[in-house]
Chain A
Amino acid sequence: GAVVSQHPSRVICKSGTSVKIECRSLDFQATTMFWYRQFPKQSLMLMATSNEGSKATYEQGVEKDKFLINHASLTLSTLTVTSAHPEDSSFYICSARKTGGTKNIQYFGAGTRLSVL
């Protein structure tokens, strides 16, 4: 199988601090990883596509300076929420696409629940 590890699973921080979330593909290489945000009872909203070795592609309305993405290796992408505010409180989920094969299935991390006080 393909496993994606996301850490931390839960973080509570004060307003104004920065929070880093890690997404690792444990047993496969992922040239592309995705970062989603999900509000309660709503669907996943794609924030950005992270490509190894290049700049991330952000969806419309997502502030790149607010949500910093780094994809320095084929197994690790990080999302840093800078100067977090209460409205950034949400469930953040990463996924990694296992290239090759016919399906190009995305495998999801367990998610990070961010609460900004």
Chain B
Amino acid sequence: GQNIDQPTEMTATEGAIVQINCTYQTSGFNGLFWYQQHAGEAPTFLSYNVLDGLEEKGRFSSFLSRSKGYSYLLLKELQMKDSASYLCAVRDRLKRFGAGTRLTVKP
């Protein structure tokens, strides 16, 4: 089986930094993905981690610890347009998604 847990909602201020955590339990592991999804739209790919450590891509960074079953997505210099749901997905045989974290960025 596979359980993926992430906070339901978070709020942050424009210009700030926010960290969205994801913990998972899986019988096998073949990569962890983060997606951004605006309301009513399809998810868009943000990052992929398969080895431990930090992957940085512009304002977004993603971290993975396989031994702890833990990842986080770090968003820097928050902008209003970053208000969206952020989905953590883990792949073993198939990719399965967490319920998503709804981030609200306030002025």
B54 sits at the interface (CB 8 A) = no
Given A46-B94, A93-B42, A105-B99 contact (CB < 8 Å) = no
Which residue of A42, A44, A49, A104 contacts B43 across the interface (Cβ within 8 Å)? A44
* Chain B residues in 8 Å Cβ range of A111: 40-42
Given A43-B87, A44-B87, A46-B94, A110-B45 contact (CB < 8 Å) = no
B100 near A106 with CB under 8 A, answer: no
A6 to B94, CA, bound (A): 21
Interface residues on chain A, number (Cβ under 8 Å): 22
A106 near B95 with CB under 8 A, answer: yes
A113 near B40 with CB under 8 A, answer: yes
Name B60-92 residues within 8 Å CB distance of A.
Answer: 87
B42 near A105 with CB under 8 A, answer: no
List, sorted by A's number, 27 A–B pairs whose CB atoms are closer than 8 Å: A6-B42, A42-B100, A43-B87, A43-B97, A43-B98, A43-B99, A44-B43, A44-B97, A45-B97, A46-B97, A49-B94, A93-B43, A95-B42, A103-B31, A103-B48, A104-B31, A105-B33, A106-B45, A106-B95, A107-B45, A108-B42, A108-B43, A108-B44, A109-B42, A111-B41, A111-B42, A113-B40
